[in-house]
Amino acid sequence: MNEVVKFLQENPVQYFATIGLDGKPKVRPFQFMLEEGGKLYFCTSNQKNVYTQINQCPFVEVCIASPAFAWIRLSGEVVFSQDMKVKQKIIETSELVRSIYNTADNPIFEVFYLENAKAEIADFSGNPAKEYIL
């Protein structure tokens, strides 16, 4: 878990893939927020298309590449959380999120984690990818 979290923190622009309401893949930049209690948390607005898409089909994949040409693929099932401690921690630690939502109790501010998450870290070294069940 530590290696996955470190990779996510060191490479803040990530690409989050969902299945759109039209049945076609949709990918957009996203950002990992934090690890809490063994869960990897992200956030979004319940006014965005991505929120509707992951409610319709909660299976997602995140892909991140480092400047050194290593990459991680992270997949799992989205579970929304109303944990105010997690929401508050995200608001306190992310200036960007705070500038959008202002407070943890903003009704459009949604946080979620990936259940049954799997991660694979690989590079062009020829060595086998490292696999993690989170």
pLDDT at residue 31 tops 90: yes
The two tokens of residue 2 are 């530590």
Where do the domains of the chain lie?
A: 2-133
Helix-, strand-, coil-residue percentages of the chain, each rounded to 5: 25, 45, 30
pLDDT band at 71 (very low <50, low <70, confident <90, very high): very high
pLDDT at 57 over 90: yes
Q: Are 101 and 112 in contact (CB under 8 A)?
A: no
- Residue 110 confidence class, pLDDT cut points 50, 70, 90: very high
- The arithmetic mean of pLDDT across residues 61-86, rounded, is 97
Q: What is the DSSP letter of 130?
A: E
Model confidence at 124, in pLDDT bands (50, 70, 90)? very high
- What pLDDT is recorded for position 1? 86
The C-alpha atoms of residue 70 and residue 96 are separated, in whole angstroms, by 26
Helices (H), 32-83: 49-56
Q: Name the fold adopted by 2-133.
A: Pnp Oxidase; Chain A (2.30.110)
Express each pLDDT in 35-53 by its tens digit.
999 999 999 999 999 999 9
